[in-house]
Structure 1
């Protein structure tokens, strides 16, 4: 009887210990004044968030086209990986808005929403470290484009920005060159081909226009792309432009396609890199 009681107690203690080491996730909604509607986001809390009074660095993760804010936790083991790091991780909702302020849809202002509403909301609602050196943003495909654009346009906000298989040349996509529903999202976000709004959101153009002083203020840029990815050439071209402009960055390419198997591996690589930057920015 004593042995049985001991085993029950031991199992209970082990379960509690293991549970304490698991990162917790919760969904929240932000009442966006800019867009006039509720926008969801998901928070992955550090395993010791509830038992400490510490403040934490923040990583924002952006999903791809046709995805949503749940993708990162439902299609990868991100929650498991997060237990190794003391980050507050926010998975952001961006619909199919290209993380931009739409020129055709007044309730799709995702660039302003993230910069003006979401980041201040996170810093106010949770125990974050609010300075630039403890804030990171990254994303896959459409989200990679968004993360890089935010780093270029708002360098004072982020120490590190990352793109996995980024759709970096999105603003250059022409009608008839890809699926019709994709070109519609691009038109909705950026306006017609050749428009000023397309140029303003073209990250190749943004990089080319940077002065030497502006380059010095940029966050570190991380890029990776699979060699079998249909966006591989665009990523190589962008990397070459970063080299030309002497912008600090890291570029990786490895076998892989535009798939969750590839991003499963790369998010682990990026979390390790983010940890290094947050501990000691390499700038």
Structure 2
């Protein structure tokens, strides 16, 4: 290639390439429910600092999987770029190694549903410029976190307007051999009623009443794909609107770091549609006055 042409090509790429200027912070969030504090990663988009300080932003909560922690998403996926691209705040709380994001009936010290679904949300709304409404709040996660995201969203339909699951362990009854799961769910035989009641597929009808924008995906080579298909089929049977995808891949960060990009796009679209609907409703009210 001609040296002059090469120079101008490189210069053009430098000028047109997006400048990712997001800010990543680690904060400590107290839990009154567990009498303890836990760290969380918060990613703020470039616009948070550069634009009008009165501006407020939608929030997406990303939950880690079994054995993980609050650093997983930031370390293994391009979430910072997603915060900039879609002008959202991303929050990654610590959910414990095997909490399943439930308020355990057998371990009163494990109250991660209350912590993530109530206490973390309240902290983030109090300390950052968020749009503190259901329509501007979404939650998703991978594996155990996928179950947790759907479980928390169903339990708090007034808090989350959108929810997702990536390679989600959506039916804990298929994870009975997971180390530590009995410490939060109880014995699979003795406490079978509770195990059954917590399966997302058994609560699928509730999504219709909750009016939650819903997205679910799983790799075709993932051991959890069958339970995700069952959930999808149940939602279709019930007529519950949702987005469902299977893509090549397994239970790996290669899959998750790709899938999260589709989910954040889905949530950004849901936020936009909610704003448009709210604006339209406001205009109708004004016209009627």
Fold conserved between structures, TM > 0.5: yes
Q: Distance in 1 between matches of 2:29 and 2:155?
A: 23
Q: Distance in 2 between matches of 1:216 and 1:111?
A: 20
Superimposed CA distance per residue, residues 19-61 of structure 1 (whole angstroms, 9 cap, x where no aligned partner): 7x41100001112111011111110001121233111000000
Q: Distance in 2 between matches of 1:207 and 1:185?
A: 26
CA contact (8 A) 1:56 1:87 kept: yes
How many Å apart are 1:172 and its aligned residue? Answer: 4.5
Superimposed CA distance per residue, residues 107-163 of structure 1 (whole angstroms, 9 cap, x where no aligned partner): 221001122211111111111001111000000000100111122222111111010
CA contact (8 A) 2:208 2:240 kept: yes
Q: Distance in 2 between matches of 1:32 and 1:217?
A: 26
What corresponds to 1:3 in structure 2?
none
1:217-228 counterparts in 2 under 5 A? 217-228=210-221
How many Å apart are 1:70 and its aligned residue? Answer: 0.5
Q: Which runs of 4+ in 1 moved over 4 A?
A: none
Q: Distance in 1 between matches of 2:118 and 2:257?
A: 30
Structure 2, unaligned runs of 5 or more: 1-13, 278-289
How many Å apart are 1:104 and its aligned residue? Answer: 3.0
Q: 2:193 matched to 1:193?
A: no
Structure 1, unaligned runs of 5 or more: 1-13
- Match among 242, 249, 261 for residue 242 of structure 2: 249
CA contact (8 A) 1:242 1:248 kept: yes
CA contact (8 A) 1:46 1:82 kept: yes
Q: Distance in 2 between matches of 1:237 and 1:33?
A: 37
Q: 2:81 matched to 1:86?
A: no
CA contact (8 A) 1:97 1:110 kept: yes
Q: Give the secondary structure class of the aligned counterpart of 2:168.
A: coil
How many Å apart are 1:80 and its aligned residue? Answer: 2.4
Q: Distance in 2 between matches of 1:55 and 1:81?
A: 17
1:169-180 counterparts in 2 under 5 A? 169-174=171-176, 178=177
What corresponds to 2:161 in structure 1?
159
What corresponds to 2:140 in structure 1?
138
How many Å apart are 1:217 and its aligned residue? Answer: 2.8
What corresponds to 2:287 in structure 1?
none
Q: Distance in 2 between matches of 1:56 and 1:257?
A: 33
| TM-score, length of structure 1 as denominator length | 0.85
Q: 2:228 matched to 1:229?
A: no
RMSD, aligned α-carbons: 2.2
How many Å apart are 1:255 and its aligned residue? Answer: 1.0
Superimposed CA distance per residue, residues 191-250 of structure 1 (whole angstroms, 9 cap, x where no aligned partner): 111424323322222225x4xxx7243302101011111111111011011111111101
Question: Residues 153 and 31 from structure 1, CA distance in 2 versus in 1: closer, same or farther, beyond 3 angstroms?
Answer: closer
Q: Distance in 2 between matches of 1:123 and 1:112?
A: 16
| TM-score, length of structure 2 as denominator length | 0.83
CA contact (8 A) 1:139 1:162 kept: yes
CA contact (8 A) 1:225 1:232 kept: yes
